[in-house]
Structure 1
Amino acid sequence: MPEPLRFLTWNLQDGGGDQHRTEQQRYLTAERPDIFGLTELRGWEDDGWRALHDVEDATGTSPMAGETRDYRLHNTELLRALSDHLPVSAT
């Protein structure tokens, strides 16, 4: 039987700040959500989206970032490979 999908969403409140980024990554890694959304990524586009790529690397997910025009409050969804959740049929 396929594993249930785990979803998580987190509003980082105006970017969350660099001082909290390690704690955020630790939490996301421990929770192991299959799909999670992060909102209010203010400043995460700096340094070529370094902060987002750090989360991607720490959690083993792939981001689908969406930039906004207002206030640089970007949003993203990150996905883990979902093969463990898909039913496999014998042929």
Structure 2
Amino acid sequence: MLRKDRKNLRYQYGYYSFLMFIGLFFVSQFLTGIGFQWAETNRLETWILLLFSSFYFGVMTSWKGALGHEASIKKSMILFCYEYHSLRRNGNPL
């Protein structure tokens, strides 16, 4: 995938995650307006929605290859798993 295409995919998924956050925020405000509060405070609701939309952005950019070359991402994931399992085997809990 070309560098320009990866950049456009990052913009696209950033736009989607922003729209998701705005939509969920308005739904949350509507539910708060009718008396239903699904988290402890209104600030916590906003942080949860922001975390959810950021998680969506991270997963989609990683999954669709918008962060870099797919082989380099797979190589780094394999190295991370290898290091994690070697630390666990040596008795070092994470």
Question: TM > 0.5 between the two?
Answer: no
TM-score range, shorter chain: under 0.3
Structure with bigger RCO (C-alpha 8 Å, 6+ apart):
2
Q: What TM-score do you get using the length of structure 1 for normalisation? A: 0.27
- The structure with the larger Rg is 2
Q: What TM-score do you get using the length of structure 2 for normalisation? A: 0.26
The structure carrying a bigger helix percent of its residues is: 2
